Structure 1
Amino acid sequence: MAVKKIETWLTDMDGVLVHENTALPGAAEFIETLKEHDRQYLVLTNNPIYTPRDLSARLGRSGIDVPEDRIWTSALATADFVARTIPRGSAYVIGEAGLTTALHEAGFILSDINPDYVILGETRTYSFESITTAIRLILGGARFICTNPDATGPSENGILPAAGSVAALVTKATNREPYFVGKPNPIMFRTALNRVGGHSETTAMIGDRMDTDVVAGVEAGLNTFLVLTGITKREEVETFPFRPDKVVDSIKNLIDVAESGVVEF
């Protein structure tokens, strides 16, 4: 067994900290332990709809106290990525406040006139008109970015089509594949590490999905923990060609590691 030092924590939100609007066992205690021991951490989500302030309030209502500056969304990662590539550029955006606010704060202009980018995010009100505009702008030379590859998302009434599904529609019409910024693209983790000054060899990623959280963590060179409170079941782990460093029942099992700052693999 190898003993490793863990100084920085990245954790997924849905399926790890909360389910719907209910805190999962040990989630609040885990976050408080990180604070008490001055551990660097960020809560990550592929959901670009909400601003960090919105998500902080949502977690707060479930009893988990996470300040907004400790939340990193695919919208923030997307804004960071495009601002580094074309500083003070322009974009035609399909999405909600989480994405448009992030782009504005990154110095971008939102425009449908010869934009540098078409950026597709999540919205509950995808319109035929906006999708048609996006297709025409991409055919006219705009670069195609999508915040996240998720094909579906949850709702109280069942699954909803998400950004990945709409991106497939746009790709079919334009023959142009988008660049997906969110998980499982490891750039989501690298930008998160840059934000908190973390280093991959002493950073852990906690997730509930093998196909996004764990694979991105592995590709980014992080220590990975899979919790069984979300999507992936224990018997499914063996079907993947990669492995998390450790599988635990819930984030409650990691409180001791958060406290000590070391883990045995």
Structure 2
Amino acid sequence: MTISKGLLIDLDGTLYHGQHMISGADVLISQLKANHIPYLFVTNNSTRTPEDVAALLNGMGIQAEPSEVCTSSQATAKYIAERSPGARVAVIGEDGLRQAIRQAGLLEVDQNPEYVVQGIDRAFSYATLSSAVQWISDGAQFILTNPDLLLPSDSGVIPGAGTIAAAIEAGTGVKPLVIGKPASHLMTYAMDILDMEPSEVAVIGDSMRTDISAGAAAGCETILVLTGITTEASLQADIRMAGIEPNMICKDLHELLHQLCSVHNSH
């Protein structure tokens, strides 16, 4: 594994858990800055704006600018805007997704959409489900920001965007196009921002099923940190399930930083 010129870094489970920084995250990011290694924070979370994410990270002591954040909402909006500039979009989601749709010059509508874009929506209702089923049955394209079925919360796990999408899929028989991890679109969006090729980039994450799978699908090198979803105990089962192996495995962020620095200094 050589030091890649750019790093795409997952957030939840990699740099923090909930509201708590994972040990070494602040040092890792400050060292990347000091060594001028380009990186972006890449998240499947569709609810937060880049400003929200940066504020969350800074609040924990991890240096972050909104421009360093890539969300599944931004990648979704760009995907649609490139194919259908100014398209009519029905949004099932929260502020992060709505803002990204507007900033991409798309028109948010509640009738006759060309696209139904869905993320996590904690106000999701039967009426919303009915509308989505109707729109998609009438020919609107169904796009999903991210397929996470469950999310951690302070009160245990809660349903994620993928669980809502499963209800819409059951009602329409239509599978959504997925933008976020483990699909490659979010990674491709982030690489475009860095202006780098897959061969120049490594993806860092805590989940074989999402982060590492997405990195591999996008053609990047992958670094698994055992700080979140995939643990030492689940590692072999998760590798079998994902059908791929990471290029590097680090037990924590301190080991990751040591590996990155030693490789960087040898060049």
Q: Specify the TM-score bucket, using the shorter chain as the normaliser.
A: over 0.9
Runs (5+) with no aligned partner, structure 2: none
* Coordinate RMSD, CA, aligned: 1.6
2:59 is matched with: 61
Equivalenced residues, count: 262
Aligned mates of 1:57, 1:259 — CA distance in 2: 27
1:254 is matched with: 256
Is 2:92 the partner of 1:90? no
| Partner SS for 1:243 | coil
Amino acid paired to 1:234: E
Amino acid paired to 1:173: G
Aligned mates of 2:253, 2:85 — CA distance in 1: 39
Amino acid paired to 1:255: L
Aligned mates of 1:256, 1:194 — CA distance in 2: 28
1:171 is matched with: 169
Aligned mates of 1:227, 1:198 — CA distance in 2: 23
* Structure 1: 4+ residue segments shifted above 3 A: 256-264
Q: Write out per-residue CA displacement over residues 38-81 of structure 1, whole angstroms, 9 at most, x where no aligned residue.
A: 11111111110010101111111111111111011111110111
Aligned mates of 1:263, 1:139 — CA distance in 2: 57
Q: Which of 126, 130, 133 is the aligned partner of 1:132?
A: 130
Whether the 8 Å contact between 2:44 and 2:72 is mirrored in structure 1 is yes
1:242 is matched with: 244
Whether the 8 Å contact between 1:16 and 1:229 is mirrored in structure 2 is yes
Is 2:75 the partner of 1:77? yes
Whether the 8 Å contact between 2:146 and 2:178 is mirrored in structure 1 is yes
1:99 is matched with: 97
**TM-score between the two structures when normalised by the length of structure 1:** 0.95
Aligned mates of 2:98, 2:200 — CA distance in 1: 33
Whether the 8 Å contact between 2:3 and 2:260 is mirrored in structure 1 is no
**TM-score between the two structures when normalised by the length of structure 2:** 0.94
Runs (5+) with no aligned partner, structure 1: none
**More displaced stretch, 170-179 vs 215-224:** 215-224
1:190 is matched with: 188
Shift of 1:238: 2.3
Aligned mates of 2:108, 2:258 — CA distance in 1: 46
